[in-house]
Amino acid sequence: MAGSADGGFDEGEAVSEHDVRQDYDDEPWNRRANPAALVHWPALLMGTFGVIQLVFSIAGCIWLPCALVWNWVDPEFFNNDGPQWQEVLLGTIAFAVCALLNWVIVLGARRLDKFENYRLVVWAIVLSFFSLPFIYCGVMTIPVSVWSFVVILHPDVRARFDAVARGNIKQPTRRI
């Protein structure tokens, strides 16, 4: 051990700024994942695919009545076998329901990123499993939904949701 008999330093002994007591990890929370980092990518991907599905739903709501009107204007375009008003009405209602469901998914993704309204986030994740109206997006939305469920079940993420709900943590407002 370096130093003199009285506990001081010997002449010429190197003195460093390093304190051995700081070598130990006394902050175990630094090794934990940041909850905001955990939810960032699932929220971003879920919101992105929700917007894509929302655009398809709104396009379907617009396209079907336009096809019906086009059939009335030019019946030869559809070889006199164009869409009927009952089919257009049911299809438009179905696309409107899909638009509503995808709006919930987009809202849930935004709330996931802000750690607000845990129930809405859970509902949004459940709805994103269905991938409506463009079912082919299911190749991406189903794995993202599973990933999102795993993330929101993480204890630190759940604790952040609870802290935000109690008002203990103020989330920074972001402008998008």
Comparing 9 with 146, the larger pLDDT belongs to 146
Q: Counting Cβ atoms within 10 Å, is residue 138 exposed (0-12), middle (13-18) or buried (19+)?
A: middle
pLDDT-based confidence at residue 96 (cuts at 50, 70, 90): very high
- Residue range 111-127, pLDDT digits in tens: 999 999 999 999 999 99
Q: What are phi and psi of 83, to 5 degrees?
A: -70, 145
State mean pLDDT over 83-105. Answer: 92
Would the pLDDT of 128 be above 80? yes
Pair 43, 113: CB distance under 8 Å:
yes
Q: Counting Cβ atoms within 10 Å, is residue 72 exposed (0-12), middle (13-18) or buried (19+)?
A: exposed
Place of tokens 């845990």: 118
Contacts of 31 (CB under 8 A, 6+ apart): 25
For position 82, what pLDDT does the model report?
76
Would the pLDDT of 38 be above 80? yes
For position 169, what pLDDT does the model report?
78
For position 20, what pLDDT does the model report?
62
Would the pLDDT of 98 be above 90? yes
Q: For the whole model, what pTM was predicted?
A: 0.75
Would the pLDDT of 6 be above 70? no
Contacts of 56 (CB under 8 A, 6+ apart): 98, 133, 134
